[in-house]
Structure 1
Amino acid sequence: MSDTPQILLAHHLKVLKLPTFLREYDKVARQSAAEGVDHTRYLLRLAELELIDRERRMVERKIKAAGFPAVKSIDSFDFLAIPSLNKMLVLELARCDYINRNENVIAVGNSGTGKTHIALALGLEACRKGRTVGFITASALVHELLEARDEKRLLKLQKQLARFNLLIIDELGYVPLSATGAELLFEVFSRRYERGSTIVTSNLPFDEWTSVFGSERLTGALLDRLTHHVHILELNGDSYRLASARKSRRPQPPEVIQPE
C-alpha cells in the first residue's frame, strides 16, 4: 500500500505528458529538503526543468522535420576565410526578425565558399526560435514537384511548401531546369511571396539566372518577387573547403631528434 501514491503519481504525470517532472521529482525533492527550500520553490524548480526539456525536445523535432543534411552553426563558420561576407548582417539575420516580416535571403558566391553552411546555420536558429523550416536542393525540389504533378498530388505539396515559416532552397543554378520544372519552381516562390521567408543559395549572379530558368520573362518575374524584400549575402573568394582539404593533406615536417 505504501507504493500506491508513487504509482498513481507516475501514472498521472505520464497522462499529463510531464516526463521531466516524473524523472526528476524525487531527486529535486531531496535536494530541496537538504537546502530548506519551501514547497513553492520546489514546484518552481520542477516546472522550470520541464519547460527547459520541453523546449529542447521541440527544437530537436523541428530540426529533424527540416531535413537538414547536417547541423551547422554560425559559431563554426570561418568568417575570416570569406571577408566579402557581411558578418554583422548574418548575426542580425540569426535573430530571425526577417522571418516575422516574410523577407528573403539570397546567398550568392563561388562553389565551396560556405553558402550552404550559412543557410543551414540560419535554419538552425529559426528552429531554435520555434519556426517551421524546410530544407531542400533546387534540383530535388523540382524532381518532387514533377513527381507530385504526375501523381496528381501537386496541390497538396504546394500547400505544404507554402506553410513553412522558412524554406531553404539550396544550390539553385547548379543544374539547368526544364521549362515545366522552371514553371513549377516559380509557382513555389509565388505562393510564398509575402507569406513566408525563403533562403536561396546560388553559384550564379542574378544576370545568369536566365540560363537556369530558360526564359527571360520567367526569370524577371521570379527575381521581382524574390528580391522585393531581400537580404543579399555575397560570398566571393576561393573555396575554403578546398583550402582546408589542402591544409589537411600538407605533409608535416619531420621530427628533429636532438642528440643526447
Structure 2
Amino acid sequence: MPARTATHARGTSSIGGGDAAAIAAVAIAARTLGLPTVRDDLDEHLATAEREHLSYAGFLADLLSAECDDRATRRQARRVREAGFPRPKRLEQFNFDANPAINPATINTLAAGEWITTGSPLCLIGDSGTGKTHLLIGLGTAAAEQGHRVRYVLASKLVNELAEAASEHQLAKTIARYGRLDLLCIDELGYLSLDRHGAELLFQLLTEREEKASIAIAANEPFSSWTTTFTDPRLCAAIVDRLTFNGHIIQTGTTSYRLAHTRKN
C-alpha cells in the first residue's frame, strides 16, 4: 500500500494521497449511512484537500457540509413535489410590470412566510389571466422551500374529495389530514357553483384550520358575488368571514395579462 503523504501546518496534519482501500471503505460506509454526496463527491473533495493542504478536520468539515447542503436541497425539492403544484411557477418569474395592480413589496413580504407561521389566510381576487395562480403557486413554492408542509388543490377537486370521504364515513380523517398542513392552497374558487352539501363540507375544512393553519385561495369573483358559488347567503358569509379574518387580501385586477400579451403579439 502506498504511503500516505502528509504535511504539517501549525501542528495539524493535512489530507494526503489517495488510498484505494480506504476510499472504497468510505464509499461503502456512505452508502450504508445514506450519505450520497459523500459517496459521489469524495474524489473531488480529496483533490481539493490535497490542493489546499486542508487538515483532516478541515477536509471532514468540508465534506459533511456539502452533504448537509445537498440534503437541504433535496428536502426542499421533495416538499415542493409533495405540494402537488400543476406546473412550476416562481415569484421571481412574475412580471410585475404587466400588472401594476400588484405591489411587489407586498408579495416579497408574504414570501418571507410570517403569515403562515401565524396561521393567517390569504385571498387573491381577480379576473382570469391576472396572475392569481402564478402568485398562489409561487408563494406556495416559497413556503415549501422554507420547510412548510404545503398542498395545492383545485376547489372543485377538494370538494369532490370531501364529498367522497363523507360518503365513505372518512370525512373526519380527511379533514384531519388537511389540518396537518401548514399551508393549503385552493385554486379556482368561484369557477363552479357549489350545492349546499359541498359548501358545508368546505366550511368544515375551513373551520378546522381557522386561526391555526393558513389557507391561500385564488378566486375570480369579488366577495360580493360569492353567493353565486355558495348559494346559501348565511353559509357564504361565514366562509368569507373565515377566509378574511386577520388575513391578507390582494386584488389582482381585471386586465388579463395573457389576453394583452396575445393582442400585442
Match of 1:111 in 2: 128
Match of 2:247 in 1: 230
Match of 1:167 in 2: 184
Structure 2 distance, partners of 1:96, 1:142, is 27
Q: Are 1:82 and 1:237, in contact at CA under 8 Å, matched by a contact in 2?
A: no
Q: CA shift at 1:115, angstroms?
A: 0.3
Q: CA shift at 1:246, angstroms?
A: 2.9
Match of 1:57 in 2: 74
Q: CA shift at 1:203, angstroms?
A: 0.8
Structure 2 distance, partners of 1:62, 1:180, is 32
User: 1:44-98: CA deviations, max 9, x gaps?
Assistant: 1112211111011101111111000011111111111111112211110000011
The answer to whether residue 148 in structure 2 is matched with residue 131 in structure 1 is yes
Structure 1 distance, partners of 2:23, 2:171, is 52
Match of 1:254 in 2: none
The answer to whether residue 237 in structure 2 is matched with residue 220 in structure 1 is yes
Structure 2 distance, partners of 1:155, 1:170, is 23
Name the amino acid aligned to 1:204. Answer: E
Q: CA shift at 1:208, angstroms?
A: 1.1
Q: CA shift at 1:126, angstroms?
A: 0.4
Match of 1:195 in 2: 212
Structure 2 distance, partners of 1:186, 1:218, is 8
Q: Are 2:27 and 2:38, in contact at CA under 8 Å, matched by a contact in 1?
A: no
Structure 1 distance, partners of 2:173, 2:54, is 54
Mapping of 1:1-260 within 5 angstroms?
4-248=21-265
TM-score by length of 2: 0.89
SS in 1 for 2:135: helix
Name the amino acid aligned to 2:249. Answer: I
Segments of 5+ residues of structure 1 without an aligned counterpart are: 249-260
- When structure 1 is superposed on structure 2, of 42-51 and 109-118 the one drifting more is 42-51
Distance 1:177 1:123, change over 3 A: same
SS in 1 for 2:91: coil
Name the amino acid aligned to 1:213. Answer: F
Segments of 5+ residues of structure 2 without an aligned counterpart are: 2-18
Q: Are 1:105 and 1:199, in contact at CA under 8 Å, matched by a contact in 2?
A: yes
SS in 2 for 1:26: helix
Match of 2:16 in 1: none
Segments ≥4 residues shifted beyond 4 Å: 1-4
Q: CA shift at 1:3, angstroms?
A: 5.4
TM-score by length of 1: 0.91
- When structure 1 is superposed on structure 2, of 226-235 and 116-125 the one drifting more is 226-235
Q: CA shift at 1:4, angstroms?
A: 4.7
SS in 1 for 2:264: helix
- When structure 1 is superposed on structure 2, of 13-22 and 86-95 the one drifting more is 13-22
